[in-house]
Amino acid sequence: MIIDEQAEFRSLLMHHVTTHWPDAIIAAYDPTAAGHLPDEFGGAGNDVILLGSMHGDDRDGVDVLARFVQRKNFPPVIYFGTADDEKAAADLHPDAHFMREHLSHDSLIVGISDVLLSNQRIASTSSLFVGDMRTGIHPLIKGYRFMRRLGSTEHSGVYLAERESTHLKVVLKVLRQTPEHGEGVGAFDRFLQEYETIADMDHPNIVRIYDLGVSDTHAHIAMEYLDGGDLRLKIENGMRERDAVRFLRQIASALSAVHQKHVLHRDLKPGNIMLRKDGSVALIDFGLAKRVRLEVAITDKGEIFGTPYYMSPEQGHGGDVDERSDIYSLGVIFFEMLTGDKPYKGGTAMGIIYKHARAPVPLLPPRLSRFQSLINMMLAKKPEDRVQTAAEIEEWL
């Protein structure tokens, strides 16, 4: 169902939907000509509501959105707003949110598809999504059978899928290009170049890459499905000293191999280190997302992009980073694996960043004192005072 007073906008949305799903059944509703929907309207019979911001002079689109999202069992709502109501609409958490002046066909289709999948809705009166469920995980990426969505961010969706040709379980990561957050197609080219470098590596502690693809509006990566959870959960459950040392060896070995290819990880943290059932670890999440964020590490509002708990001092202050920044992040992880606690904490991101740059390196408990010199070298404030290569970590151990 499409709701908006502007006939041209309703027609535009209808065109986008029917271009991709020719059999979709669409109800277009003009709230000014037909009157505002009654309070008891429950959206029954609709798989998704496409709600525009224009409802006449006597009603605001955000008010209508607020009514819809508060109702139980209401269909998912995708809101099309303006810069003026962007924050107010975002605070209501619609299932998806677009700027009506800056719509692209592919991003809209991907957005609708993600909403339907996350709400486990398949159109009952048409083949709106049935075909995509059979032929692929994604309306723009064919050859994979959808199993479930693992997560999503502002710019990407991550899915568990099965490659149809081999029945191999994979993790499919789909990155969507948005003009306000990217650098054009060239950014995706660089993104794929980094992953192509990783795909060519045969290292037991680096995630295996099976497939890469790019278009003007999205890129995708099919990679190894790591079913042992992430290192973050392992730390939360408590870790033995020998396991912490074993994981450090494996991560350092992987970093050494990656750095030899002149690739930085840039966002090393326990959530980006996955475990296999055999107990080995694998690095994941290299590439563009970190590159773009860290080149503008601190905004004019004092906000930080990335994970301040694991950022090197130079990274947190927007300076140039090299392999030694990854080594610092690994030092933070090693401290956390040994103690179960982060070396620096604070009430704000900027407070944590300040401590990384100024606070002394924390001391390990006496029972772990033999690792203090390594922690000191990995967490040195100045890059030149640190362990210079990941290979040196292995040598020290």
Can you name the residues that pair with 151 across neighbouring β-strands?
158
CB 115 within 8 A of CB 96: yes
Burial 26-57 (b: 16+ CB within 10 A, else e): beebbbeeeebbeeebebeebbbbbbbbbbee
124: tokens are: 């009952």
Q: How far is CA 78 from CA 61, 63, 253, in A?
A: 12, 14, 45
Name the strands in the sheet holding 169-176, side by side, starting at the edge strand that comes first in the sequence: 144-152, 156-163, 169-176, 218-224, 209-214
Task: State the Cα–Cα distance between residues 309 and 235, nearest whole angstrom.
Answer: 15
Lookup: tokens for 15:
């065109």
Give the tokens for residue 187. 């950014």
**Residue 202 among the catalytic residues:** no
Query: Tokens 């000014």 label which residue?
Result: 32
Task: Tell me if 163 sits within 8 A of 170, measured CB to CB.
Answer: yes
Residue in 4, 267, 285, 326 annotated catalytic: 267
Helical residues (DSSP H) of 206-307, grouped into ranges: 231-236, 241-260, 288-295
**What ranges make up the beta strands (E) of the chain?**
2-3, 28-29, 49-52, 77-81, 96-99, 144-152, 156-163, 169-176, 209-214, 218-224, 273-275, 281-283
Taking the C-alpha atoms of residue 170 and residue 227, their distance in angstroms, rounded to an integer, is: 10
The catalytic residue positions are 267
